[in-house]
Structure 1
């Protein structure tokens, strides 16, 4: 055993050393900084400058948590680099053409620096292979973008003022918009500009991207006050726009700009955390045939009325989490005929409203309802623990019998305190196509026999964190497709149950940790012929005198840590022999001759 322990310690030492190299942000700060080459990657931490000559044949550079404050063109000269990341540095200035000597660069991340300048696309000239550009968390703005370039009156290709990079044009074109003459980043698809104080977005700010296939644009938390009419016009391909947390933007400005979005491609729109008091119905109406995803998380809706949404025939995904919703009027979602994904988590709902039971839904989330944010925040600050089971909710939640939802595949009630404290036989009878159900931390105390018998296609069931006892053999009857069953953090002792899993022939993963199990009976795991993982840690199991795992011939892993095991019987040895992985750590074994056979 001593040699095994030494080997394990050596493995952890080697693993720790590897993690420090792979994730340099975890390495201790060094006075002079450090750069390491691992394969084709250059990883730098706490440096003030890059190596004078970049190593050959590297394709990835990551500089993080350093004091690098300026990038010069001569610092970055490599034909092989494809990914460049400068995250959490103090870069305040990019010199013109800083990236021009990286012809094969595909991904550039400059997030969380201190770059304070107008957004000049000339900085990214000649990056013809770049597909992803991340400039989040800097100090970019666009107040004088229309004056980006100053043309010189000459017929030859010219160089603009020293503040900008070289942009070729001719005197014959001098009457055209200067930004219109510049075309950059012809392969750019993902553009992240969040957390920069843009304030305004002029109409010509994206003109140099007119030939770019940008599909995703992130402008979260940009203090936006004004967006020109034609701002989006050059972005002919974009599908996702994130305008989260721009509370200063007025709804009429938002309306005008949504109406001017490209209506030829499917659109995903994030308007979360914008202090909206009602769903912007008129503003969304122009996107009837193109809006497929709408995120309204963290706004201030109390009621979703019958006429809240315009006709949105293309809408598939709707997120209304954390909006303070207490009532959803009947027919409120009737104008969304193709809605498939609906998230109503962390609202003030006290029941499943009829308006929510849409026959088109395949995913429904109702976690943490009814949710009292102020109460939870107070208890986090002043409570006597961190257990969210102790948080106050406004009331309990009533779950009716689900009907006419034959397409639903996933249903979640996590952290929602179900009023009846019981799962009844008919509660989910109308969900015959359900594949996944989350009922964890719902204050459940009992489950009726055959309560899940209609769910013959259910594959994942989470009942953890409740107060359940499994007291009969019919609780999981007919769940013939179930592959994962989570029952940890309950009060299960199997009192009154002999073989509760006998019909679960497809089960692969069973979690029973943190229960009140003291004995394992001979037929307890009967029927689990395909089980691969069994977790029994944190119970009160002492030993067993007859083999209990005979039916689980495919069992790979058994976890019995933190029980009350004091000895290893012949029956236990028989069961352990079929395993590839066994964890019996943190048990109060008596180290005497009775453990001889186990050590052998």
Structure 2
């Protein structure tokens, strides 16, 4: 019974303990290691990320990885940064659940508000290699327990930057036990000196004292004794430390120094640099010197004097020299004539200065030995080598050279290449970077650059707007970048001598018109002789069309970039390219690819260069308006079943039946193809013919019907058109008329109207007649005058004779009067037969008028004229 009770209590205690640490377990994340720590951990292990959790104490339990295949033990990196610990207590990493502290190699405790670390806080961390304590509140007086670093017998790297050390006295004694320490990162303070305790760090080879933000590192004067006890350091970083003076023997203790960085100390200047290098005179170990921005930003440009490099030129192993952002405008010509820089110098960067033309440019070729030169970001609006731009007096030699260049003999010599050099560079120079310098150049005449060793040239992001002439002397150039230059003109002559090119980037220009097939066929010859070219970038050039044979000479091309242009249809041939690996056509206006191109891409898969490769040929068609139509169905099938890799973005779609269809997977593509094959693209020619015939028949019937209707109602339609502006209609005699009668007559009756009809009816019978020859309104069409006369007259009198029947306007007046009579329901018409006309010659419409309307015959005897006029006047006045 007692035994059972004890067991129950044990189980209960165990459950309580488990639940308690489970409840206290932080929300840490398990992750893969970065590349550096992955190598350090033997290419295995995982990381535990407990950063940014506002933890008040170091956790005593951590989550366990569920997938041990993906996250193979051990827990190699523990990140506890950006928390709020304040204190790191004893045994913080001992008996911790799911954590074997002896396996941890990397420990981050940065920016965690630590102000105290107990003596045994790091117990069990015997294998730790990397410790980051930066960004805390550690002081020298009371922040470290005695022997705090004793357990870290294998520690190689410690970061103590951005803390509050005012001296190195106590920290030196604590760090002295780290016999394996090779890298120390700590900020240099004004009174900081590496005392005798640091000589115990015999393996210390890298000393990082640089500041990363304002006030991190402050050391206006570096004294001679500062580095007395760290003589084994090989890499010393002192950048951004507000240094104004480095005493001349401060670096004299470094017998193995290979790298020195004193950049971004703007109070130092070149005079201070020269003084600092005194202790390293004749050094046979220093290979890299960084002196970027050691001159004040807001001062005038400077000349690099020979006195500035008196100690630098003695360095016997200097290979890399970085003098960026120092506002250097010119070099003292005595630096280059004779050449005073170390003969071992291979890589020289002057990026971000203000280099302009000076006498020193005549002696650049003397800098033999330099292989790489970076003069980017000079922010010039001119070419410093084109001295005539500035009105500088040229030497006799250069003046003679220019005169010789202008001779007529020279223009025909050496395949149009000048015999003398426009620009002379050291024969050892292999690489030049001259980016973002507003270099304003138009190559309109042949030029020679004497640079036999030059292989790499980057002049991107400048203002090289014209490439229309030959460039000689660059026979070994393999890499050329002329991107982002606003270049709009290019001629085949430019590449004529650049036959060794392997990489060519002319993207981000405006060469669309220059490469257009209609532009004198220059596109077909542009790359003639470029058999060695493997990479060609023509992206973002506003290209709409390319010549069919523009890529014909590029037999060894591997990578072609035509992205972000405006190509709507692919017309160029790639048949001569033996083994193209990828072509980028993204961001164009292609609805698909033609069969000739897809067949070519398929053929590449069977060549030797693609054997034993799962993905050999890629085509990027993202951000193109690919069509989902029967026209592009063969292309869609090719995308699905070809082994060529076709790349799209996840949001690339095509529209079909008003819906968006994605084709970023085989399943989506097959679904789209099935819709087209089974529905949209089935043979429905019989439907088309049936519908077409039906449409033609219906159109014919409707046309006939409309024509018949229009012809039958032609007079009414005319009447409606010309009377459309009437403001109102009248019925009966609800309105008064302007005229008593509208007279319709043929031209041969004009004298009768004027001499007989008008005098009798208007003077004797007091009637007012509308007569065309008298009452027509000027500026108004005949048809509108007729309608106006009929509409504003009580009656319409038709004087019928043979000429009347043959006159089109008389016919128009008769029919308009009839339509007015019908529309207004008035007895409007009075037909007067002026002569005897056989009935068979009268038109049907007139016979209807004679049957239904009032008619009067003109008398043959003059004695009956009075009665005629009286009857006519009576008819006009009748209602």
The TM-score normalised by the length of structure 1 is 0.76
SS of the aligned residue for 2:560 comes to: strand
Question: Hey, what does 2:385 align to over in structure 1?
Answer: 399
Work out the CA distance in 2 between the residues paired with 1:216 and 1:229. 17
Partner in structure 2 of residue 561 of structure 1: 586
Q: Is 1:43 aligned to 2:64, yes or no?
A: no
* CA separation of 1:76 and 1:525: change in aligned 2, threshold 3 A: farther
The 8 Å contact of residues 441 and 463 in structure 1, kept in 2 or not, is answered as yes
In 2, distance between residues paired with 1:236 and 1:76?
A: 35
CA offset digits 1:530-587 (Å, max 9, x no partner): 3222111111111134x51212232222211221223433234334434732222222
The question of 1:52 aligning with 2:70 is answered no
Q: Does the CA-based 8 Å contact 1:130-1:187 persist in structure 2?
A: yes
How far apart are the structure 1 equivalents of 2:454 and 2:229?
43
Measure how far apart 1:405 and its partner are: 0.4
Describe the shift of the 1:129–1:396 C-alpha distance in structure 2 as closer, same or farther (beyond 3 A).
Answer: same
Distance 1:423 1:101 in 2: 74
Corresponding residue SS for 1:307: helix
Kindly indicate whether residue 271 of structure 2 is the aligned counterpart of residue 279 of structure 1: yes
How far apart are residue 322 of structure 1 and its match? Answer: 1.1
C-alpha change, 1:91 and 1:488, in structure 2 (3 Å) is: farther
Query: Does the Cα contact within 8 Å between 2:102 and 2:127 map onto a contact in 1?
Result: yes
Return closer, same or farther for 1:110/1:431 CA change in 2, 3 Å cut-off. farther
CA distance in 1, matches of 2:223, 2:271: 23
The alpha carbon displacement at 1:439 in A equals 0.5
The alpha-carbon distance between structure 1 residues 87 and 594, as it changes in their structure 2 partners (threshold 3 A), is farther
Q: Out of 335, 345, 352, which is 1:346 matched to?
A: 352
Q: Structure 1's 44 and 555: CA in aligned 2 closer, same or farther, altered over 3 A? A: farther
Change (3 A) 1:550 1:532: same
Of 327, 332, 335, which residue of structure 2 is paired with 1:329? Answer: 332
Residues 313 and 335 in structure 1, CA contact (< 8 A), matched pair in contact too: no
| Distance in 2 between residues matched to 1:107 and 1:560, nearest whole Å | 47
* Residue number in structure 2 paired with 1:139: 163
CA distance in 2, matches of 1:369, 1:432: 25
Deviation string, structure 1 residues 480-538 (Cα, Å, up to 9, x no partner): 44332211101113242314234333333221111021123222112323322211111
* 1:520/1:82 CA distance change after superposition, 3 Å: same
Asked whether the equivalents of residues 264 and 291 of structure 2 are also in contact (C-alpha less than 8 Å), the reply is yes
CA–CA distance in structure 2, aligned partners of residues 187 and 474 of structure 1: 63
Worse overlay, 471-480 or 290-299: 471-480
Match of 2:378 in 1: 369
Distance in 1, Cα, partners of 2:175 & 2:27: 39
SS in 2 for 1:475: helix
Contact residue 591 and residue 625 of structure 2 kept, 8 A: yes
Q: Distance in 2 between matches of 1:182 and 1:498?
A: 70
Instruction: Report what 1:530 is aligned to.
Output: 556
Q: CA deviation at 1:345?
A: 1.4
Gaps of 5+ in 2: 1-24, 33-44, 65-72, 95-100, 296-300, 387-421, 605-615, 638-879
Aligned residues: 507
Does residue 201 (structure 1) correspond to residue 192 (structure 2)? The answer is yes
1:304–1:565 distance in 2 versus 1, CA, 3 Å: same
Distance 1:182 1:104, change over 3 A: closer
Q: Which has the higher helix share?
A: 2
Out of 103, 106, 128, which is 1:105 matched to? 128
Give the structure 1 partner of residue 502 of structure 2. 483
* Residue among 108, 112, 116 paired with 1:85: 108
Q: How far apart in 2 are the matches of 1:539 and 1:67?
A: 53
Q: Distance in 2 between matches of 1:73 and 1:422?
A: 73
Question: Secondary structure in 1 aligned to 2:271?
Answer: coil
The aligned counterpart of 2:829 is none
Indicate the RMSD between aligned Cα atoms, in angstroms.
3.1
Q: Which residue of 1 aligns with 2:28?
A: 34
For normalisation by structure 2, the TM-score amounts to 0.53
Distance 1:115 1:183, change over 3 A: closer
- Equivalent residue number for residue 570 of structure 1: 595
Query: Which secondary structure does the structure 2 equivalent of 1:531 belong to?
Result: coil
What secondary structure sits across from 1:582 in the alignment? Answer: strand
CA distance 1:549–1:95, change in 2 (3 Å): farther
Aligned-partner Cα distance in 1 for 2:81–2:289: 34
Deviation at 1:132, TM superposition (A): 2.0
2:681 maps to none
**1:114-513 maps to which residues of 2 (within 5 A)?**
114-117=137-140, 122-136=147-161, 138-143=162-167, 145-146=168-169, 148=170, 183-194=176-187, 198-204=189-195, 207=198, 209-220=200-211, 221-225=216-220, 227=222, 229-247=224-242, 249-251=243-245, 254-280=246-272, 281-290=274-283, 291-300=286-295, 302-310=302-310, 311-314=313-316, 315-332=318-335, 334-338=339-343, 339-351=345-357, 353-354=360-361, 357=365, 358-370=367-379, 395-399=381-385, 401-422=422-443, 425-427=446-448, 429-451=449-471, 453-469=472-488, 471-493=490-512, 494=515, 495=519, 496-513=522-539
Cα separation, 1, equivalents of 2:92 and 2:499: 62
* SS in structure 1 at match of 2:250: helix
Partner SS, residue 200 of structure 1 = coil
CA radius of gyration, larger in: 2
1:45–1:65 CA contact under 8 A, matched in 2: yes
Q: Is the Cα contact below 8 Å between 2:153 and 2:179 reproduced in 1? A: yes
Give 1:64 shift.
4.1
Q: Per-residue displacement from partner, 1:234-291 (whole Å, max 9, x unpaired)?
A: 22321221211222x442xx12453443235434242433323433223322312224
- Going from structure 1 to structure 2, the CA distance change for 1:65 and 1:264 (only over 3 Å counts) comes to closer
- Does structure 1 conserve the Cα–Cα contact (< 8 Å) formed by 2:437 and 2:461? yes
1:596 to 633, 636, 644: 633
User: CA 1:205–1:460 in structure 2 vs 1: closer, same or farther (change >3 Å)?
Assistant: farther
- Between the aligned partners of 2:228 and 2:432, the Cα distance in structure 1 is 40
Q: Report if aligned partners of 2:82, 2:112 keep a CA contact under 8 Å in 1.
A: yes
Report if the CA contact (8 A) 1:73-1:97 is conserved. Answer: yes
**Contact 2:58–2:88 at 8 Å: present in 1 too?**
no
Cα distance in 2 for residues equivalent to 1:362 and 1:64: 44
Aligned residues of 2:556 and 2:579 also touching (Cα < 8 A): yes
Question: How much does 1:227 deviate?
Answer: 4.6
State the alpha-carbon separation in 1 of the partners of residues 291 and 175 from structure 2.
36
- Deviations 1:373-393, CA, capped at 9 Å, x for gaps: xxxxxxxxxxxxxxxxxxxx5
Higher RCO structure, 1 or 2 (CA under 8 Å, sep 6+): 1
